[in-house]
A and B are shown apart, each in its own frame.
Chain A
Amino acid sequence: MIVKIKMPQLGQTSDEVKLIRWLVEVGQEIRQGQHICEVETDKVTMELESSKVGKVLKLMFEPDSEIRTGEVIVIIDSKSTASSKKASAKKPEPAEEKITKEVKSLSSGQKKKILVETGFKKAIEMYRSMLKIREFEEAIKILFLEGKMPGTIHQYTGMEACAVGVCSALEKNDVIASTHRPHGHAIARGLSLNEIMAELYGKTTGCCRGKGGSMHVGDLEKGMLPAIAIVGGNLPIVGGMALAFKMRGEPRIAVSFFGDGASNEGAFHEALNMAAIYNIPAIFVCENNLYGASTSIKQTLKLENIAQRVCAYGMRGDIADGMDVLDVYSKAKIAADFARQGNGPTLFELKTFRLCGHSRRDPCNYMTKEEKLYWQAKDPILAFEKLLLSEGILDEKSLEDIKDQVKKEITGAVEFGQTSPEPDPLDTYSNLYVNMEVPQ
C-alpha cells in the first residue's frame, strides 16, 4: 500500500520550514519514529520522525527547499517486503514496547521541538520553579544542620524535573497528592515559599497552620492535598478524587506522586486495579529514584521498569527521563489530555535520582561513588539551564536575575518562617472535627 508522509505543523508562528538534509534514502526500510530528515523552522532545527512503517519510494524535496505544512514529503510502500511483514508480526504492541524497553534520552532535536511547543515563557517558569525547589532544599538543609528547624526532612534535590514537569502539564482545578518527600511538589504546584517554610517551622502561618509539618505540606485550595506520609497511602485517595470528578462529569484530573517503594505496597495494586476498572481521570506518577530509603530497587523488584506493571491492570503506561523536565512535561501532557478526554488513567514512571540523602544526615553510604557521579552529571537544572542558554531563550544576565530573585525569595521565606507567631498550646484542640469540640 502506498502511503504519503506529510509535513506536520512544527512551529507555532510559521507554516514553512527549510529542509536541511535527508536522513533516509530511497529503497530504505524505515520504522515508525525513525528520523527521516532534519529541518529548520524560524526558531530551531529539529529532526522529523516518520509516522509510518515501510520502504521509501520517493523523497519529494531536495535539501534547502522550503516546505509548507501539509505538503507531501516522502512516499513509502507500507507493505513492501516479506521481511518487514515478519518483523511487524513479531513486534509487540507499541504500548508494551514503550514500557518494557530501556528509556532513551530525548535527542537534541526532540528537545528543541518540545521547547517550541511549550513556549519560551513557560519554559523559563519551569526553570525558575526547579531552581526554587533546589534553593529551598539547600536552605533548609543548612537550617536543620544548624539545629534551627524542628522535626525531620526528606529532600527532593535532584528530582526537581519530575514535580515541575508534571505540574506544568496540569490545569488550575486539577489536584495532586504527594508523599513524605513533598517540598518539591508543593513548590511546583504553586504554594508560596512562605507558607511552606512556616509549616516546616510549625507556625500558625504555615499552609497547615502548623498541624502538618514537613511531611504533610499542602493546601487543597491550591490544588495539593496535604501530603500523605504513609508509603503508598495516597494512591487510593487519588483514585477517589478522580472518581468524584468522573461521577460529576468535571474535566479535572487527579495526580498521585509516589516513589518506587510504594509500588510494592498493596495500596498500589488496589488503587491501580480500581482506576483501570472505573477508567478514571488520574495519573499515577512513580518517581523511581532507585532507592527505598537505603535499599536498592534491584533488591525489591525483578522488572526493568515499574511501568511494566500496567500489564497487570490493563492500563496505559509511559516512562520518561526524570532528569529531563521537557521529557517529563511533554509526556505528562499526553497523559493529562488522555485522562481529561475520558480515556482513563496512566501509570507514568520517571527515572530519577536523589542527589541528597533519604532524610536528614543520611550520607548515602549505600550508593557507589560512580553511581552518584553518573547522576550528578545528569543534574536536571544544569542541563535545562544549558539548553535555555544555547537556544538563546535566556542569556547570562537574565539567568543571574532569576537566580537572584529566587535567592531573595528564599531568604524572605526563612525570615517569614522564623518570625511568624508560634501557635497557642491550646490550638492542639482545634481543627479536628467540623462541628464538634474535642471531647475532654
Chain B
Amino acid sequence: MKLSIAESLRKAIADEMARDGKVFCIGEDIGIPGGFGGAFTVTLGLEKNFRERMIDTPISEIGIFGYACGAAMMGMRPIADVQYGDFLFCAMDQIINQIAKLRYMSGGKIKVPVVMRAPVGVTGRGAQHSQSLEPYFLSCPGLKIVAPATAYDACGLLKAAVRDDDPVLIFEHKLLYGSKGPRQESGTIYASGEVPDDDYIVPIGEGIIRREGKDVTIVASLLMMHFSVMAASILEKEGISCEVIDPRTIWPLDINLIVNSVKKTGRIAIVEESPKQGGIGAEIAAQVCERVMDYLIAPVTRIAAPNTPAPFSPVLEKFYVPQPERIANTIKILIRDFPT
C-alpha cells in the first residue's frame, strides 16, 4: 500500500506494539485523544488501540530519555520521541552519558534497547528548530544512527531499531514526513511510496544505491538524498552520470558501498544539510581517503550548509540549505576542473 513516511512510521510502531507487549512509546503530545500525534502526526490515533502503552509526558526531555533508559534496562522496548531534534540537547546527559555508555560500563552485562526518534531539517522555524544533529551523535560510540529517506525504509528501519538490542537514534526529516491536516509542512518533498503489508526490516548498517552512475559518487541522506537525485537528473542532461548513495544508516556506516562506488567513479561529493564544520562529510571524506586515495582523480568535495546557525529569512534559508541547483553546479565544476 502507498504510504507517506509519517504513515509508514505509524504502521511500524503499531505493528511492533502488536507484535511485542514490551514495546511502548514515551514522549510529548503523542497519545492525547484529539491531539497532534507527536509534532508531525506519526503517532496519531495509536492511543485508540494502545492506551496503556502511549506514555504522554510533561515537557521534560531529561525525564523522557531517562525513563526510557531505565525501562529499557528492565526489559521494555521504549520508543522515545522528541518534537524537534533540537530538543535532544536538553537530554544529552541521558543519551550520551547513560544510554550510550551503560552497556560498556557494565562490562557488557546490560542491554539498553532504546529507540529515539527525532525530526530534523531546516523548515522555516529559525535556528532552534532546524538542526540536523547527526554530527553530534556520530562522535558518540555506543549509539546506532539511522536516517530513512523513503517510506519503505522508514518502516523497515524503525522495525529494525525496535528489535535491535542496542540504542538506536532515528532521524526523520520534517519535509519528508508527508504529514497531513493542520500539521502539514510547506515545502514538503514527496516521499510516499509502497510499503508492503508483510513484515520486513531494513537491516541497520546497509546503504543503498539510489541511482547508478559512473562519473561521480554523491553520498546524501534524508532531504539531501532527494535533492541529490534531482541534481543528478539535471546533470544527466549535460552528460554527467552521477551515482547517488543513500547510507540510510549513519553509524555504523556502510563504508564498503561508498568505497566501491568511488573505485568506479574516482570522484566523491558528500551533501549534508548541517554546517560543514565537523560534519558527516568530514568523517566520510576521511574514511574514503584512508581507504581509496589512489582511486581519487579529484579532491573529496563537501557540499554543506554554511558554518552558521540556520537563519530564518526565506531568502537566507534557501541559500543555507544546499539546493539541487547548487549541488549540480558544484559537481559540474568538479568534473570540469578534474576531468577523467
A244 at the interface (CB under 8 A from B): yes
Determine if A433 is an interface residue (Cβ-Cβ < 8 Å): yes
B63-A270 in contact (CB<8A): yes
Cβ of B109: which chain A residues have Cβ within 8 Å of it?
208, 219-221
**Chain A interface: which size bin?**
35 or more
Contact residues, B38-80 vs A (CB, 8 A): 52-53, 55, 57-58, 60-63, 65-76, 78
Give the docked Cα–Cα distance between A228 and B103 (Å): 12
Cβ B105 vs Cβ A226 within 8 A: yes
Known: A221-B109, A247-B24, A432-B142. A239 touches B73 (CB 8 A): no
CB distance from B128 to the nearest CB of A (A): 18
For window 233-247 of A, CB contacts with B under 8 Å fall at 233, 235-245, 247
Interface string of B60-104 (1 = CB under 8 A from A): 111101111111111110100000000000000110011000111
Q: What is the bound-complex CA distance between A277 and B69, given in angstroms?
A: 18
Known: A236-B62, A432-B141, A438-B141. A274 touches B67 (CB 8 A): yes
Q: Is B110's beta carbon under 8 Å from chain A?
A: yes
C-alpha gap A430/B109 in the complex (Å): 11
A266 to B111, CA, bound (A): 26
Q: A433, B60: Cβ atoms under 8 Å?
A: no
Taken together as a complex, chains A and B put the C-alpha atoms of A240 and B76 apart, in Å, by: 10
B107 & A239 in contact (Cβ 8 Å cutoff):
no
A212 touches B106 (CB 8 A): yes
A434 CB-CB contact with B under 8 Å = yes
At the interface, yes or no: B158 with Cβ under 8 Å from chain A? no
Q: Closest B-chain residue to A280, C-beta based?
A: B67
CB-based contact A211/B52 at 8 Å: no
Choose one: B66, B67, B105; the contact of A211 (CB below 8 Å): B105
Bound-complex Cα distance A226 to B97 (A): 13
Residue of B nearest to A431 (CB): B108
Most chain A CB within a 10 A radius of its CB, from B63, B65, B69, B76: B63
In the complex, A252 Cα to B71 Cα: how many Å? Answer: 13
Task: Please pick, from A244, A274, A435, the residue contacting B57 in the complex, using a CB distance under 8 A.
Answer: A274
The residues of B that contact A270 with a CB separation of less than 8 Å are 58, 60-63, 66
Whether A211 pairs with B76 at a CB distance below 8 angstroms is no
A-B contact count (CB 8 A): 155
**Chain A positions 206-239 with a Cβ under 8 Å from a chain B Cβ:** 206-212, 216, 218-221, 225-226, 228, 230, 233, 235-239
Query: Once bound together, how far apart are the Cα atoms of A220 and B108, in whole Å?
Result: 11
Q: Which of A382-396 contact B (CB under 8 A)?
A: none
Q: How far is the CA of A207 from the CA of B107 in the complex (A)?
A: 8
Which residues of B from 111 to 127 have beta carbons under 8 Å from A? 111
Q: Which of A207, A244, A430, A436 contacts B71 (CB 8 A)?
A: A244
A320 within 8 A of B: no
Q: Smallest CB-CB separation from B99: which chain A residue?
A: A237
| B66 CB contact (under 8 Å) in A207, A210, A240 | A240
Q: Cβ of A238: which chain B residues have Cβ within 8 Å of it?
A: 70
| Chain B residue nearest to A278 in the complex (CB) | B55
A247 to B53, CA, bound (A): 8
Q: Which of B65, B144, B165, B252 contacts A236 (CB 8 A)?
A: B65
- Distance in angstroms from A238 CB to nearest chain B CB is 6
In the complex, B164 has a CB within 8 A of chain A: yes
Across-interface contacts of B74 in A (CB, < 8 A): 175, 240-241, 244-245
Q: Does residue A92 face the partner (Cβ distance < 8 Å to B)?
A: no
Assembly CA distance A436 to B206 (angstroms)? 13
Residues of A near B93 (CB, < 8 A) are: 230, 233, 267
Would you call B262 an interface residue if the criterion is a C-beta within 8 Å of the partner chain's C-beta atoms? Answer: no
Contact of A439 among B63, B67, B104, B252 (CB under 8 A): B252
Q: From the candidates A175, A244, A274, name the one contacting B76 in the complex (CB within 8 A).
A: A244
Nearest A-chain residue to B251, judged by Cβ? A439
Q: Is A273 part of the contact surface with B, judged by Cβ < 8 Å?
A: yes
CB distance from A200 to the nearest CB of B (A): 14
The smallest C-beta distance from B50 to any residue of chain A, in angstroms, reads 12
Are A236 and B106 interface neighbours, CB within 8 A?
no
Instruction: Tell me the bound Cα distance from A241 to B106 in angstroms.
Output: 17
* Least CB separation from B72: chain A residue: A240
Query: Are A236 and B103 within 8 A (Cβ)?
Result: no
A406 at the interface (CB under 8 A from B): no
Cβ-defined partner of B108 (8 Å) among A175, A244, A430 = A430
Q: Given the complex of chains A and B, what is the CA–CA distance between A212 and B108 in angstroms?
A: 11
A209, B253: Cβ atoms closer than 8 Å: no
Q: Can you list 30 contacts pairing A with B, beta carbon distance less than 8 Å?
A: A175-B74, A209-B108, A211-B106, A212-B107, A216-B106, A220-B109, A225-B73, A230-B93, A230-B98, A233-B66, A233-B94, A236-B62, A236-B70, A237-B98, A239-B63, A240-B67, A240-B72, A241-B70, A244-B75, A267-B63, A267-B94, A271-B67, A273-B60, A277-B58, A431-B106, A432-B103, A433-B103, A435-B165, A436-B144, A439-B252
11 more A-B contacts (CB under 8 A) besides A237-B66, A241-B73, A433-B142?
A: A233-B93, A233-B97, A236-B63, A236-B65, A237-B98, A240-B73, A278-B55, A432-B142, A433-B144, A434-B164, A439-B253
